[in-house]
């Protein structure tokens, strides 16, 4: 289906005709082609591919009109394109999914690995796609906003500032001088380890790589397949860690009755060239996805989200409001008033003071967190263990297990006059002098 769209527009472009990019025009062409044109693909799934192509074309045109001439129109062939079925066209029964097919064809039944975590009546669409060489089903459900009893839910007057970062994905400065630090060092280590393994893997197979224009061998195709699997596994791990970090922030905000989250938006720094290494850090940061994930979870919890600029928040003293040199570590110290604090928490407190419609903050009135909660994101990643400063850590004796012989268990102690000494084979009576000792063979 996707290749057919590319061929049609290529043929029209060579003949200097108008391109078919509108969704309505593409649907009319599909209906004029008749049933059975694309095999067992039904019209609902075919229209989802048409919608994807039309959206990609108009998104590229909008970016090019905005001045980004590096953006390309969708002209690349795809091996497997995701297809979507909307509510009312599919049937979900437990761990079995029935997908419609073309006229005169048997329906497609897909058996799921695990049950869907949403009620059936909330599922709005399902998408069949290939991720890392594996067939997967993406489910879109309508999740209602959480409701709270009167007086027990988040309050709009309680504001918390959020400073997103690379080392600490989220630093939160909330009311009552409380703060939250979510460490992302495990995520950064996952990026470094994946980059290191990729570099060594490419170096090892560089000698047997096929030349341009030549087909690779079976061994080379197996390597490419394995490389794609490792790449998608790395992306899944990082995405799961981002969701864990955002869930930690939202749970902390609900527990402290925070009704407004003011998030600093640092996406303006992405447009500045900062060198090869720092540009890689910014790409791995995925700040847009981090903000969207936190916003979605906060809105479902009934928390209002505001985006404000964070320029100067990490280099401004919260006490004297003077610009200070950029600290090398995590600790911020003002050379004028000698005030100190965590660099990310200071930025989060200043971001919280920039809440639209909030109180006017004068010089020296930005409260800094005094009670700080430390949490870590990506504890499921390889090599990420418990922190030695984590208060939820088990005692050393419990971590090492019981002291003694673990297996097999020692024999029970016999009470009474019987001896508990180990029995020896044969008689223990001393042999008289001059007589030999007979043993049974």
* CA–centroid distance for 239 within its chain: 1
> DSSP code of 121?
G
Q: What confidence category does residue 31 fall into, taking pLDDT thresholds of 50, 70 and 90?
A: confident
Q: Which pLDDT score is estimated for 388?
A: 53
Tens digit of pLDDT for each residue in 92-133? 988 999 999 988 888 899 999 988 888 899 999 999 998 877
Q: Dihedrals φ, ψ of 182, to 5°?
A: -105, 115
Q: Which pLDDT score is estimated for 427?
A: 52
Of residues 55 and 206, more confidence is placed in 55
In whole angstroms, give the CA distance from residue 248 to residue 258.
13
β-bridge pairing 134-141 and 123-131 = antiparallel
Adjacent-strand bridge partners of 264: 308
Per-residue tokens: 216: 């690779």
Q: Which pLDDT score is estimated for 94?
A: 86
Which helix H or strand E contains 191, and what residues bound it?
helix 185-205
Tens digit of pLDDT for each residue in 195-239? 999 898 888 888 888 887 777 788 888 888 888 889 988 998 999
Q: What confidence category does residue 170 fall into, taking pLDDT thresholds of 50, 70 and 90?
A: very high
Structural domains for the chain: 1-79 (no CATH), 82-143 (no CATH), 155-186+239-376 (3.30.420)
pLDDT of 426 higher than 80: no
Across all residues in the chain, what is the average pLDDT? 82
Given a contact cutoff of 8 angstroms between Cβ atoms, the answer to whether 183 and 374 are in contact is: yes
* Per-residue buried b or exposed e for 313-336, using 16+ beta carbons within 10 Å of the residue's own CB: bbbbbbbeeeebeeeeeeebebee
Query: If you write DSSP's letter for every residue of 168-180 in order, what string do you get?
Result: SSEEEE-STTEEE
Q: Which pLDDT score is estimated for 360?
A: 46
pLDDT average, residue stretch 301-326: 84
Neighbour tally for 410: CB within 10 Å: 7
Which helix H or strand E contains 248, and what residues bound it?
helix 218-255
Q: What confidence category does residue 441 fall into, taking pLDDT thresholds of 50, 70 and 90?
A: very low
How far from 409 is each of 112, 312, 412, 425, CA to CA, in Å?
A: 44, 65, 9, 23
Neighbour tally for 68: CB within 10 Å: 10
Q: Dihedrals φ, ψ of 284, to 5°?
A: -70, -20
Q: Which pLDDT score is estimated for 323?
A: 84
pLDDT of 287 higher than 80: yes
Q: Dihedrals φ, ψ of 331, to 5°?
A: -90, 130
């Amino acid at each position: 289906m996707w290749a057919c769209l590319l061929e049609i527009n290529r043929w029209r472009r060579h003949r200097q005709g108008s391109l078919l990019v509108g969704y309505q025009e593409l649907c009319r062409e599909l209906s004029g082609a008749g049933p059975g044109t694309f095999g067992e693909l039904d019209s609902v799934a075919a229209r989802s591919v048409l919608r994807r192509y039309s959206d990609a074309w108009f998104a590229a045109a909008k970016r090019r009109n905005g001045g980004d001439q590096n953006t390309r129109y969708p002209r690349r062939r795809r091996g497997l394109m995701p297809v979507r079925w909307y509510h009312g066209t599919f049937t979900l029964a437990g761990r079995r999914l029935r997908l419609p097919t073309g006229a005169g064809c048997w329906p497609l039944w897909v058996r799921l690995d695990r049950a869907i975590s949403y009620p059936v009546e909330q599922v709005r669409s399902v998408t069949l796609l290939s991720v890392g060489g594996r067939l997967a089903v993406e489910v879109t459900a309508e999740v209602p906003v959480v409701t709270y009893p009167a007086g027990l839910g988040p309050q709009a007057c309680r504001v918390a500032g959020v400073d997103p970062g690379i080392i600490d994905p989220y630093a939160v400065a909330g009311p009552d001088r409380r703060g939250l630090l979510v460490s992302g060092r495990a995520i950064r280590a996952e990026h470094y380890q994946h980059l290191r393994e990729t570099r060594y893997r490419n170096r090892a197979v560089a000698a047997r790589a096929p030349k341009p224009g030549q087909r690779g061998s079976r061994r080379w195709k197996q390597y490419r397949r394995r490389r794609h699997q490792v790449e998608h596994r790395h992306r899944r791990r990082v995405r799961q860690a981002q969701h864990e970090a955002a869930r930690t922030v939202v749970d902390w905000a609900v527990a402290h009755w925070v009704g407004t989250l003011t998030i600093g938006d640092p996406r303006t720094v992405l447009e500045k060239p900062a060198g090869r290494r720092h540009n890689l850090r910014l790409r791995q940061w995925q700040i847009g996805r981090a903000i969207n994930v936190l916003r979605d979870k906060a809105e479902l919890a009934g928390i209002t989200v505001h985006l404000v600029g964070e320029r100067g928040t990490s280099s401004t003293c919260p006490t004297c409001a003077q610009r200070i040199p950029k600290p090398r570590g995590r600790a911020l110290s003002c050379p004028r008033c000698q005030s100190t604090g965590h660099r990310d928490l200071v930025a989060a407190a200043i971001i919280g003071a920039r809440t639209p419609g909030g109180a006017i903050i004068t010089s020296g009135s930005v409260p800094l967190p005094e009670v700080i909660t430390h949490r870590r994101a990506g504890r499921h990643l390889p090599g990420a263990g418990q922190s030695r400063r984590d208060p939820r850590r088990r005692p050393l004796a419990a971590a090492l297990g019981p002291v003694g012989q673990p297996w097999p268990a020692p024999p029970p102690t016999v009470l009474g006059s019987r001896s508990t000494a180990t029995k020896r084979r044969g008689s223990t009576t001393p042999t008289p002098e001059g007589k030999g000792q007979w043993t049974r063979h």
